[in-house]
Amino acid sequence: MVYFSQLITSFVASAAFGVMFNAPKESLVKCGVSGMLGWMLYFILESNGYGTILATLAASFLIAVISQVMAKMYRTPIIIFSVAGIIPLVPGGLSYDAMRHFVEKDYMGTVTLAAKASMISGALAVGLVFSEVFNQIIWRSGKTHK
Amino acid sequence: MDNQKQLYDIMDACLLAGKVMLQSGAETFRVEDTMVRMASALGAGETYSYVTPTVIMFSASGRGEATTRLIRISARTTDLKKVAMVNSVSRKISTGELNLSDAWIELKEIEAARLTYSLFYQVFAAAIASGCFTVMFKGSWMDFLPSVAAGGAGFFSAIYLHRFVPIKFFSEFLASAMIGLISFAFIKSGLGQELDKIIIGSVMPLVPGLLITNAVRDLMAGHLVSGISKGAEAFLTAFAIGSGIAVVLSLL
């Protein structure tokens, strides 16, 4: 039941972010799918105790791979699929929390939360970059073999 | 002489494409890449482009002397449809389907077009997304509707206030203060359960998630200036949201 409601909400939230970022109408469902798959991987890993950072890394890698496949299939820039997908993974809640502690003069709490948030956004970016690098390696090696 | 004139036209088209892409929120490396590709497909000689979130510099050399031009970008939004459209124009140029004058006309049309979803749809999407985020962050379904209301109102006031106050910081500050107030009202009236979950879900549409990620990505790709300036923008936005909420919470 928990998984089911997570499935639905992550799909809807990613597609809704597609609307906010003005993605083309025909790609809204694809945005939703890439966001949903990424979030489910994150949620499963996180709830089984693998830690947020590893879960974020894996999920952003998955989203980037899906987006690359979709970008190749539909001949559109990859950013359309990846942006809406990674939004749920972004430590927005954490960075908001950090700022709230900062404004409330709890500086130690701020540093802890900010460090966590920057680790997670680092993991997110590393996941994206990794999949790009993999993609290029596969593409290039395929080209030289032919 | 003719050559020089043609070089200027090519540069104009490339700069226009770059400007539209950057204003629509494309990544800096993609803008650089597209401009260089377009220029070489259209027959310019050596070209260099340097793009940061606020400026595009582009230099090209034909057979004669080299020229450099600069464009200042002051406002940026996220409009992925325009990015896709400019991308397909540059793709068509590379395959030779479009020549320079046709491409120019098409780019001008894209620049002038208003393709965004209506305000109603955007606010509706933000509201629904807020509710969903509350559930995704392990809030209960009881808090779904309060988050929908708070998130929708917050996003709407961020857009609406931005028309009066051109400084992004203040519109975001006021919008998040609004979210804080509404969420607090829901808790007080007994309709909401957890204040934190409602607030975090509702601020998600305002949170600079895209900026944070792009900033780290740019830094890793070696685009240091872009990375740092995007990071600064993200920090300002996060600060505005956090302090907006905190002001409300400390007053109540």
The domains of chain A are located at 2-145
Is the CB of A133 inside 8 Å of chain B's CB atoms?
A: no
ipTM tops the 0.90 cut: no
Whether residue B96 is found in the same domain as residue B125? no
pLDDT for position A146: 43
Domain termination residue (choose one: B112, B139, B155): B112
Minimum-distance CB partner of B216 among A16, A93, A125 = A125
Taking CA atoms, B200 is separated from A96, A98, B242, in Å, by 8, 12, 10
Tokens encoding B198: 């409602």
Scanning A75-104 for CB atoms below 8 A from B yields 75-77, 79-80, 83, 86-88, 90-93, 95-100, 102-104
> Residue B225 belongs to what domain range?
119-251
Could you tell me the pLDDT band of residue B3, with boundaries at 50, 70 and 90? confident
Whether residue B134 is found in the same domain as residue B23? no
Q: How many domains does chain B have?
A: 2
Probe site for chain B from A6, A11, A22, A27 (most B CB atoms < 10 A)? A22
Whether residue B12 is found in the same domain as residue B104? yes
Query: What integer is the mean pLDDT of B104-122?
Result: 85
A17-26, A84-93, B122-131, B209-218, range with the lowest pLDDT: B209-218
pLDDT for position A1: 75
CB contact under 8 A, B136 and A92: no
Mean pLDDT of chain A: 85
Q: Which residue did the predictor score with more confidence, B220 or B36?
A: B36
Smallest CA–CA distance, residue B65 to chain A, in Å, is 34
Query: What integer is the mean pLDDT of A103-111?
Result: 86
Q: A19 with B117: CB under 8 angstroms?
A: yes
Contacts of B250 in chain A (CB under 8 A): 103-104
Evaluate if residue B174 carries a pLDDT over 60.
yes
Domain termination residue (choose one: B68, B87, B112): B112
pLDDT digits (tens, 9 = 90+) for A46-89: 889 888 899 999 999 999 898 888 888 888 888 888 888 888 88
Q: A105 with A116: CB under 8 angstroms?
A: no
The CA angle B232-B233-B239, to the nearest 5 degrees, is 85
Closest CA to A12 of A89, A118, A88, A78: A88
SS3 sequence of chain A: CHHHHHHHHHHHHHHHHHHHCCCCHHHHHHHHHHHHHHHHHHHHHHHCCCCHHHHHHHHHHHHHHHHHHHHHHHCCCCHHHHHHHHHHHCCHHHHHHHHHHHHCCCHHHHHHHHHHHHHHHHHHHHHHHHHHHHHHHHHHHHHHHC
Q: Tokens 């996060």 correspond to what residue?
A: B238
Whether residue B107 is found in the same domain as residue B142? no
Q: B222 with B172: CB under 8 angstroms?
A: no
Smallest CA–CA distance, residue A120 to chain B, in Å, is 10
Whether residue B198 is found in the same domain as residue B155? yes
Smallest CA–CA distance, residue A34 to chain B, in Å, is 16
Q: Which stretch, A72-76, B78-82, B123-127, B236-240, has highest mean pLDDT?
A: B123-127
pLDDT for position B1: 43
Closest CA to B63 of B41, B38, B81, B46: B46
Tokens encoding B72: 């200042």
Mean pLDDT of chain B: 85
Whether residue B125 is found in the same domain as residue B71? no
Whether residue B93 is found in the same domain as residue B131? no
Domain termination residue (choose one: B112, B136, B161): B112
pLDDT more than 70, % of chain B: 98
pLDDT for position B154: 92
CB contact under 8 A, A16 and B128: yes
pLDDT more than 90, % of chain B: 15
Evaluate if residue A144 carries a pLDDT over 70.
no
Whether residue B168 is found in the same domain as residue B212? yes
Whether residue B97 is found in the same domain as residue B172? no
Is the CB of A48 inside 8 Å of chain B's CB atoms?
A: no
Smallest CA–CA distance, residue B207 to chain A, in Å, is 6
Whether residue B165 is found in the same domain as residue B136? yes
Contacts of A24 in chain B (CB under 8 A): 80-81, 84
Query: What integer is the mean pLDDT of A13-23?
Result: 88
Closest CA to B209 of B238, B188, B181, B236: B238
